[in-house]
Structure formats: structure tokens, C-alpha cells
Amino acid sequence: MKKTRIQKVDMISELPEPILHHILSFLDFRQAAQTCVLSKNWERVWLTYPVVDIYNGLFYFPFHSKKEVFRRRRLRLLDSLEKSLRNRHHHCKDLVSMKKFNMVMEILEDQEFAPFVDKCVSYSIRCNVKKLKLDFGLDDDDDDDSDDDDDDNDEGDRENRWYNLPQMVLCAKSLEVLKLGKCKLGLPIGSDVKLSYLRKLHLHEVDINNHAINNLFSGCPLIEEMIIGECEGFESIELFGLSKINNILMFDNWDFNRLDAKLLNVSSLSILDKGKFRPFDINVTDCTNLKNIELEGASIKDVSLYKLISELSLLESLYLGSCCKLKRVKISSPSLKTLKISNCYKVVELMIDSPNLRHFTYDGGMISLCSNALALSNIDLCFKLIKFDNQTQWYVKLAELLTKFHSFSETVKLQVSEDEDFNVPKELRETLLSPLFSGKCFKLLIKETSQTFSIAKVVDDILSIAPHTKMISIEYGYFGGWSETSFEFSYKKPSVYKGEDSSCFKSHPISCWQHCIEELKLEIHNTDRIDIKGCSLDGAEFLEKIDGLCTLRSMMKLA
């Protein structure tokens, strides 16, 4: 029988070039480059592939390699990368328009690498790259393989870790997206930036002075998004005439202290300084289309804040964090829907005149609160309680806050430094009303507990504040550890009794928890992995049983 020869056909290589480029997009840069040896067709596909992604993993070598051997290998690899890019240029008569060029690596501690990077960047610019990302960040702790003799040159090494961005990048008319990390960006006086089509600009850990950063923005007339984080060298930013910009985000910039902006179309502005390096000033009253504002670490004062908010007719979301100069805050905005205030510890009074406010989050000290937020549907309160000499004053202040908002909030959170700071004396329970008679969830955070700490005592105090709460969660620190104890309650019905046993104390509008608790479920979790889950207890005598369980847990820990 005569055998039939089956001719092998490479159907994949005959696919259209855009489809083959799409196939390469699923491979990393090393694997994509290796396809050029498969056939002449694949070599052409690789040479015209519009994405170059050079990342730090390409330079990985075993840790036991000696420093000089490691360095020579990296130089050879960079040299081969440069030749590969040169070959792409040589084999294509017309420069291929490049969609994306990424270079993310951590090898710039040696200045011999900088010329290679310059050539790669130059190639991408000549190829009319649209998206350019250059990130050369280094972790200062990754120097274990360095010689002891180099300790005297630490300052010089740190300086060398900043890549000096070539001037040609700031004049690349093809660029639409530019992302820079660990670069040094300096402009000689008289030099101009010409990024005519740039839409997105991201700067992270960039060294840039006032002249350069303001010149940079003036040369990006079509910019839509600006993100600047952990940069240094500049103190102020002036943004004028940028008609397309929509989103501005700045965070943890070391020397920054002022923003002046007149941008009619910007809708989101976030300036966050979590490290609290220094307070900053803002002037954005002419940004009339702002819908979202986030300010953390701003030096804004009460009058300036009120004026700013009242002039922003489209404002929907406002976040104020660690604003140290706010004391008596008045917020008046018919359009505001979400309000969050956190760690503004000098605030003693808060007045909210926002009838359409739906979500309110407060995290800070106890304050005097007044609101007409009729549309509120969700509130998250976390009060950091301080100890008063007059315990009645403490309780009245807390009750005033909780009474105003308990009907909107699913959860009320309180935070104290020590367990002794949370204490409701028995005499107050007999004379004052319970502020949270219909609360759903009560959470208490205690940073540090004393040797006499009792879960039962804390639960008893919480139930005097919220006698019919469905859940109590108590998180507390102890002897370097951390524990969370939660209680889920079920009650007898009706919860309001008639007759002599209507309540424990005549001043209470509803029955005391001691008369209506039917069952509770207890869960304990801690860092010692001694957990008690799903333990059910009956009746009002559960407080004694709780202390017993906690004592048992302590005994297990000591064992």
C-alpha cells in the first residue's frame, strides 16, 4: 500500500499581521523577541510589533553571582536590547509608529547604563511613540551585595539613581501618555515644553523644580489627567488655560505647599498628604465644575472652606482629612451627596446644611453637630473618645451625637485609648435616656487594656447605651496581642413591656436588655489563635459566663 505524504502547512504564520501582533501581546518581551527566529515572516512580525516592554525581570540573575559578573551580564543584555531596537529600525524602510514603549527597571545605580537608556528612549521618540513609561525606581535597602568600601559614596550613589530625562522627550509631539518614575527633570531657562497631544501625565518620585513643572503644564494644552506623587523640588503649581483637564491627583509631595488653578472643566481634585510633611494652601474658587474634592493636610480655614463650597454648585463629594486649622466647620451645598471628615481633631462644631446629603462618614473626636441632611441613608460614625473629668459631660456629649444619627446608621463605631476611658456610671443610667434604643451594630475599638479589663463590664456599658442592639463587636489590644469579641443578640417580643416591669429605670422609654434578651451567640478571635466560635448563651446572666470564657482563654494562653 502506497503511503500518502502529508504536506505540512504553517497556517498561523499566514495570518494577517494585526492578528499576529495580537498573539504577541500575550507574551512577555523576552518570549515575543524569541519568535523572530521561527521564520522570516515571524521576524517581520517582530520587527513591526508596536509594543516594546523592557522590565526588570529581564535582568534577573542568581543571587550568588558576583557583583562584577552580574554587572557585565547586565551591560551585555542592554547592548543586545539596543541592537534589537536598531535592527527594527534598519529592516523597516519607514519608521514603524510605536503604540507603547515601557522601560521599568532598577539598574541605574551605575552611570554606564544611562547611555543605553538614552539610545532606547531616542529610538522610541523617533518611532513616534504614543505611550511612554520610564520608571527607574530603586529600593534603598537592596544594597546587600555592595562592598563595604563603597559606604563613603552613598550620597553619590543616590544621586546617580535619578535618570536625567532627555530634553527630546518633552518635545515629542506624538506622545499621548507620559509616565515617569525616579527621573530628574530639569529645564534650562528659556526652554519650552511642546507636548501638543499629551492627554495623561503621571509623575512618581520625580525631581523637578518650580520652573520646570509650571513650564511642563503650560506645554500640554490638551492634558486631561495629571497625577503627581512623592515628587520633590517644587513648591507651588499654577494651572491656567488647560481647557481639557478633568482629573488632578497629588499625593505626598515633599516640598509642595500651594496650588493655584483656574480650570473651568476640571471635575475631580485630590491633594493627599498622608505623611503630613507640611500644610498646603489652595486657590481653586474658579474651578466651577468641580464635582469631587479630596483634601488631606490642607491649611484651609473655616471661612475659606465655607466660601469654596458655596461657590461650587456642582459639588457632589467632599473629603477633609487632617486639616489642622478647621475648628467650626459649616458646609452649605444643595448638591453635596457624600461627605467624609477624618482626623480633623481641632474641629469642635460641625454644621451641615446639605438637604441632599446621602452618605456621611465621620472619624475623629466628639463634636457639636447640627444637620438638616434630610436625604441621609447611610452614616458611618467613628468617634475617638477622650476622658472627661466630669463623666456626666462625657455621656451627655456622646448621647447627643448618637441620638441625632442612630436612625440612619447601620453601624456606630467608637474608639478609646484605654478601656477605662469607656465607662458609664450606674447613677447616669438611672437618670439619663439610652441614646441608641434601636441601633443595629455597635463597634468599640480599645487600643490598650488594663490588667483589670473585663469584657462583661464593657458589654454592660454598651447595652446601657444601646439596649436592643443586634450585634456588639469589641476589638482590643492586650500584652502585645490583639483580640476581637463579637456578640449577636436575639430578643423576646415585644421589646416594650406594660405594667410594673416596663423598664428597669423609669426614665427609659423601652425595656432594659435584662428583661428581654433571649439568647446570644459569642465569638472570640485573637492573635494567639485561641478561638471560640458559635458559643450560645441563654438569658440575662450571660455577663458572668462571658468573664468565665475570657478567663478560660487567658488560662489557655498562659498554658
Q: Which residues lie below 8 Å from residue 199, measured CB to CB, with a gap of 6+?
A: 176, 177, 222, 223, 224, 225, 244
Q: What is the pLDDT of residue 507?
A: 46
Query: Is residue 343 within 8 Å of residue 384, measured between CB atoms?
Result: no
Whole-number average pLDDT of the chain: 77
Residue 295 corresponds to which amino acid?
Answer: L
How much is the pLDDT for 517?
76
pTM here is 0.75
* Burial of 417: CB neighbours in 10 Å, binned 0-12, 13-18, 19+: middle
List the one residue out of 32, 15, 3, 21 whose CA is nearest residue 99: 21
pLDDT over 60 at 324, yes or no: yes
Q: Rounded to an integer, what distance in angstroms lies between the CA atom of residue 483 and that of residue 453?
A: 13
CA-nearest of 558, 492, 479, 556 to 524 is 556
Q: How many helices (H) and strands (E) does the chain have?
A: 13, 28
DSSP per-residue string spanning 109-159: TSGGGHHHHHHHHHHHHHTT-SEEEEE----TT--TTS-GGGGGGHHHHHH
Q: What is the pLDDT of residue 131?
A: 94
Identify which of 103, 95, 98 has the alpha carbon closest to the alpha carbon of residue 120: 103
Q: What nine digits make up the cell of 109? A: 545605580
With the C-alpha atoms ordered 192, 198, 199, 202, is the resulting torsion angle positive or negative?
negative
CB neighbours of residue 152 within 10 Å: 8
Task: Reply yes or no on whether the pLDDT at 105 is more than 90.
Answer: no
For 430-439, what is each residue's pLDDT tens digit?
Answer: 777 777 766 6
Flag the least confident range among 95-104, 256-265, 379-388: 379-388
Q: What is the pLDDT of residue 427?
A: 75
Confidence class for position 382, pLDDT limits 50, 70, 90: confident
Backbone angles phi, psi at 179, to 5 degrees: -125, 120
Q: Report the pLDDT averaged over residues 518-526.
A: 78
pLDDT over 50 (residue 150)? no
Q: How many alpha carbons fall within 13 Å on the CB side of residue 150?
A: 12
Residues in the chain: 559
